[in-house]
Amino acid sequence: MRKTSCVILILIACTSCSKEKRANEAALKMQQFVVDISQYARSLDPDFIIIPQNGPELAFNDAEPENELNQEYLAAIDGMGMEEIFYFETYTPDEYRLDMLRKLVPLKKIMVSEFVNSGSLLPDALQRNYNEGFICFVRTSDNYYYTKIPDTIPFENSNNISTLADAQNYLYIINSENYPSKQDFLSAIDATNFDVILMDLFFEETAFTAAEINELKTKANGAQRLVIAYMNVGSAENYRYYWQDDWKLHNPNWIKKRYEGYDDEFWVEFWHEDWQKIIFGNNDSYTKKIIDAGFDGAYLDNVEAYYFLYFKD
């Protein structure tokens, strides 16, 4: 092998090691970020529910799955949301994440969202998840962006759901574009018997009120349920209330990277003080708005930003 080729291989290896080191350091910062959000929210509402989506490595010491579970992180969360464990269009099981979830399911509620390219795959996707002890929401190709309410509810029941551990199913509907008005959207959800509603804080640019959210806390059959607000903590969205007119990629400098497939989102250095102030810790923060609107908890999306900042183009 030529000397120049050896040098190139060494440089590539060093670059990879450097990225891995920075990603791991960022993962530890995300662990702390989730803990801090939880502690702030529960200082205002002791029963407030925290559910991070993806990033199962964060549940382990040093964000390494071969290590012991991180008890501080586990104490800060009530469950964990995951996307595409068994299905992404077709049957493509993710054994790496599945192994981690099997360690976590005795301790926390695992909420899996699957994506299938055919309705005929829906029963299998549900069965595989419920066999593992997970609760599952399956979306088909016409519901990739969580815009529709499915016709069927797995394990529909008339139980009162007072904690996340009680839940047997959930509705994931964070995009209201199919509904001409806020009332139409609320009425459609109100008519269901899902145990947990996962939805956005806003209809278009208007936040839901505490009275509106309280109405949703009763299933159509009269039993109680939980209503959880979606909050993106790992990427900034340019249609949100906090976005300023002069913001763009690298301005401010903690807006670091475009989010592939989502033109209106940008990966951020989530540990930056300015971003964290947007998310929690003060009366103008996103978390405080969710609490003021009467939600039972928050669903923290993109906690795996530590990976996408360093390993995805």
**Has residue 1 been placed in a domain?**
no
Per the omega criterion (within 30 degrees of 0), is the bond before 252 cis?
A: yes
In tens digits, the chain (313 residues) has pLDDT values of 444 444 443 434 445 568 788 889 999 999 999 999 999 999 999 999 999 999 999 999 999 999 999 999 999 999 999 999 999 999 999 999 999 999 999 999 999 999 999 999 999 999 999 999 999 999 999 999 999 999 999 999 999 999 999 999 999 999 999 999 999 999 999 999 999 999 999 999 999 999 999 999 999 999 999 999 999 999 999 999 999 999 999 999 999 999 999 999 999 999 999 999 999 999 999 999 999 999 999 999 999 999 999 876 5
**Has residue 206 been placed in a domain?**
yes
pLDDT tens-digit readout, 127-183: 999 999 999 999 999 999 999 999 999 999 999 999 999 999 999 999 999 999 999
**Has residue 162 been placed in a domain?**
yes
In DSSP terms, 80 is beta-bridged to 110
Q: Could you list the residue range(s) of the whole structural domain that residue 95 is in?
A: 17-311
In DSSP terms, 218 is beta-bridged to 224
Residues near 53 by beta carbon (within 8 Å), at least 6 away in sequence: 80, 81, 82, 83, 299, 300, 301, 302, 303
**Has residue 171 been placed in a domain?**
yes
**Has residue 8 been placed in a domain?**
no
**Has residue 6 been placed in a domain?**
no
Q: What is the mean pLDDT of the chain?
A: 94
Q: What is the rounded distance in angstroms from the CA atom of residue 243 to the CA atom of residue 195?
A: 33
**Has residue 11 been placed in a domain?**
no
Q: How many domains does the chain have?
A: 1
Query: Contact at 8 Å (CB) between 78 and 298?
Result: no
**Has residue 137 been placed in a domain?**
yes
Q: What is the rounded distance in angstroms from the CA atom of residue 307 to the CA atom of residue 55?
A: 9
